Amino acid sequence: MSRWLAIALLSLCTGLAQAATFRVDDSASQVLDNDVQMKWDDAVPGQHARQTVSGALTVRVRLDLSPWQGRQGRVYMTLPASPSGPILTQWTTRGRLLPGALRAGERALVYVGPLPAGLLEDTVRLNLQADGQRLSRAEQLHFSFEVDLDTP
């Protein structure tokens, strides 16, 4: 039994080692709401009030996957850690990309399947939530995308 377990683990590790990750060109994407107005989640401050602020924006996502067209892969959205503390992002889509959630410093799956020629396009509605006590000034968020290619 332990021999089969060792073989299974070895094949899993080999499969993981063969996966390759690449940054995706999203330079054709367009932010439709440039200024996100963050508002307190609880209008009345107090001992039991949440100290978070929220805002929303819409992005026309255009991912150039042409270098990997026809390959099988997984596309992830990433957001680097923020100097102002934790940021939670939740989003909905119009269908090409998967809806989901992501914390700053992580990545989340937005597409899985055959990678199309040209641009993979969708409209994404992002809802952002941050710690209102630590968010003291305007901050730019640097979302990006990565593709993990499945082995042929």
In whole angstroms, give the CA distance from residue 52 to residue 148: 34
The DSSP symbol for 10 reads H
- pLDDT greater at residue 100 or residue 137: 100
CATH number for the region 20-149 comes to 2.60.120
Please provide residue 108's backbone torsions phi and psi, each rounded to the nearest 5 degrees. -140, 145
Nearest to 61 by CA among 107, 98, 89: 98
Q: What is the pLDDT of residue 35?
A: 78
**Which whole number is the average pLDDT over 147-152?**
86
Longest alpha-carbon distance in the chain: 62
The reported pTM is 0.80
Every domain of the chain and the residues it spans: 20-149
In whole angstroms, give the CA distance from residue 150 to residue 114: 10
